[in-house]
A and B are shown apart, each in its own frame.
Chain A
Amino acid sequence: MTFRIGPRTNQIIAYSVLLLMTIITVLILFFIIGYVFKNGVGQLSLEFLTDRTREMGKEGGIFPSILGTLLVTIFAILIATPLGVGSAIYLVEYTRGGMIRRIISFGADCLAGVPSIIFGLFGFIFFVIQMNLGWSILSGGLTLAVMILPTIIRTSEEAMKAVPYTYREISYSLGGGKLDTILKVVLPTSLPGILTGVILGVGRAVGETAAVIFTAGSSLGIPTSLFSSTRTLAVHFYILAREGISMPKAYGTATVLIIIILAVNFIAYRLMHRFIARYY
């Protein structure tokens, strides 16, 4: 006798399995964050955040790494934002399909899929060696700028596309030129969407390891110029954990990293939602 399951039962089974797998996925995320926090929050103190790193990270705080992360990230954003937003303006306002558009889109799509170790190799040979910038905030920032460029292009593009066409028509009918329209109408209206892209770029830059370890180096000194080598939080955490230097300090550093990532994603999410609520 063959045992046959009816479609209704099948539906219930499928639903339960899908639900269970979704719950497991969400629990994994909460578990990772919770586990790091549980072991790391106790490490956080003003001293940990503002003290120099001593004995390779066994003692002291993470101030040099916080400063290094900040500088590398800001530098990357300063380079990538004008390039990304400019690209998006061109894509949305100046191209109507066609070859150039396809080439630019292809470039952005492919760049988005390039793994960070390849950016690391490229940054190392191009910025560090060829351009003779050495292991520095400059090299690290430039490498990260290339890496987050597609994120900014894509998000800004979506944001500008969402600006209703009538806004532009009204500007034209009032005698505004194309550039005036972009600067005074399109950019201000799509600003929250553009900012979302920039903030997501910040998140990627802060969490990145493979691309910065070979371009910004791993010096623990407090950076004095853009040519100083520095060790970002992610790199410092990697070295603490992999070389087993200090587990408590590793948990502490990971907690700081995750707090930054959570904050960045939360802000990006809120901005995006306010933007969507207004224009969709």
Chain B
Amino acid sequence: MKDKIAEKILLLIALSAILSLLLITFFIFQQGVPFVVRVGLGNFFSTIWSPNRGHFGILSMIIGSLLVTAGALAVGIPFGLACAIFLAEFSSKTIQKTLKPIIELLAGIPSVVYGFIGIVILVPFIRETFGGPGFSVLAASIILGIMILPTIVSISYDALSAVPATYREGSVALGATKWQTVRMVLIPAARSGIVAGIILGMGRAIGETMAVIMIAGNALKIPHSILDSVRTLTSTIALELGYAAGDHRAALFACGAFLFLIIIILNIIAIKVTKRR
């Protein structure tokens, strides 16, 4: 009897995560979707964002988000994979035990600290070296690339470690070097895990807010070079939510709904990809 009641209570508790997710989905969409229907998709996906005059176009922000995310991946994938491969295949147990928590610590550093380092070091460096305002696609890409490293490293590392030892032994027995084994056997075998890590890293980059606000410059136009200022979906929400009201606030929730949709799709892809293993 006691066990039966406990099971029912625990089931209710266990539903808390999925209920929270449903609640978040409901409230974000309830605020955002009717608004998009009212102003029309044409207005919502235009390039003019001027909430006071009834223009709610988020296209330049979508492009901004995509650009910094692509930039982040360009930085994060090579470094992330390099660390994962080095840790999983080229280092001793002691080095693994020391370096892995250190790299994971990168995930613990608050995003505002990354943004701050961007402001005081990276932005002036870019301004003096390459010209332009410094607050740019490039600055945001580099900082976001560093921020998504731990995600890519730990998931790719786990995927590489999960490849059975017999694969390595077979390859080495055929006379392959360690690097050839990595390139031709391990990476293909761990592919789904690596892809999942990259997709989750992508989700982190596209959803990151505070660091991007601090270093991307936030100008409301489509950038023409990586040295131009850029504004993302997340920045717009965080910059304007504090004072927005009425339609303006609804438009910010619509931005959120669009972002949320992208993130959920990325999450589902990542979950599916890992399941296939």
Contact A110 B146, beta carbon cutoff 8 Å: no
Type the 1/0 row for B211-229, where 1 means its CB is closer than 8 Å to any CB of A. 0011000000000000000
Q: Are A107 and B17 touching (Cβ within 8 A)?
A: yes
How far is the CB of A74 from the nearest CB of chain B, in Å?
18
Which residue on B lies nearest to A26, using beta carbons? Answer: B102
Contact of B260 among A18, A114, A213 (CB under 8 A): A114
A117 pairs with B177, CB closer than 8 A: no
Task: Say if the beta carbon of A271 comes within 8 Å of chain B.
Answer: no
Is A14 engaged at the interface, CB distance under 8 Å to the other chain? Answer: yes
Q: How near does chain A come to B77, taking the closest CB pair, in angstroms?
A: 11
Contacts of A28 in B (CB 8 A): 106, 146
Q: Give every chain A residue within 8 A of B156 (Cβ-Cβ).
A: none
- What chain B residues lie within 8 Å of A100 (beta carbons)? 11, 14
A150 CB–B CB distance under 8 Å: yes
Binds A, one of B38-46, B78-86, B126-134, B163-171: B78-86
* B259 and A106 within 8 A (CB): no
Tell me whether A56 is interfacial, beta carbon within 8 Å: no
Interface residue? B149 (CB, 8 A)? yes
Interface residue? A51 (CB, 8 A): no
Judging by beta carbons under 8 Å apart, are A207 and B108 in contact? yes
Q: Give the contact stretch, choosing among A118-126, A160-168, A221-229.
A: A118-126
The residues of A that contact B19 with a CB separation of less than 8 Å are: 107
Residue among B82, B110, B210 making CB contact with A22, cutoff 8 Å? B82
Say which residue of A107, A116, A118 sits within 8 Å of B18 (CB atoms). Answer: A107
Contact A178 B3 (CB under 8 A): yes
- How far apart sit A208 and B7, CA to CA, in the bound complex (Å)? 34
B33 at interface, CB cutoff 8 A: no
A265 vs B99: C-alpha distance when bound (angstroms): 14
Contacts A104-B15, A122-B24, A207-B111 known; A113 to B256 CB distance under 8 Å? Answer: no
A contact residues, total (Cβ < 8 Å): 80
Interface of B, helix, strand, loop or mixed by DSSP? helix
A258 to B105, CA, bound (A): 11
CB distance from B72 to the nearest CB of A (A): 13
Instruction: Select which of A14, A25, A153, A237 is within 8 A of B17 by beta carbon.
Output: A153
Contact A11 B177 (CB under 8 A): yes
The minimal Cβ–Cβ distance linking B114 to chain A, given in whole angstroms, is: 8
A26 touches B99 (CB 8 A): yes
Kindly identify, within residues 3 to 46 of chain A, every residue whose CB is under 8 Å from any CB belonging to chain B.
7-8, 10-11, 14-15, 17-19, 21-22, 24-26, 28-29, 32-33, 35-36
> Distance (Å) between the CB of A244 and the closest chain B CB?
9
Residues of A within 8 A of B (CB): 7-8, 10-11, 14-15, 17-19, 21-22, 24-26, 28-29, 32-33, 35-36, 82-83, 86-87, 89-91, 94, 100, 103-104, 106-111, 113-122, 124-126, 130, 146, 149-150, 153, 177-179, 203, 206-210, 213-214, 234, 237-238, 241-242, 250, 254, 257-258, 261-262, 264-265, 269
Interface residues of B (CB under 8 A from A): 2-3, 6-7, 9-11, 13-21, 23-24, 27-28, 31, 78-79, 82-83, 85-87, 90, 99, 101-106, 108-117, 119-121, 146, 149, 153, 176-180, 182, 200, 203-204, 206-210, 213-214, 234, 237-238, 241-242, 252-253, 256, 259-260, 263-264, 266-268, 270-271
**What are 15 A-B residue pairs whose CB atoms fall within 8 Å in the complex?**
A21-B79, A110-B268, A110-B271, A111-B20, A113-B270, A116-B209, A121-B241, A122-B28, A125-B28, A125-B253, A153-B17, A177-B3, A207-B112, A234-B112, A257-B113
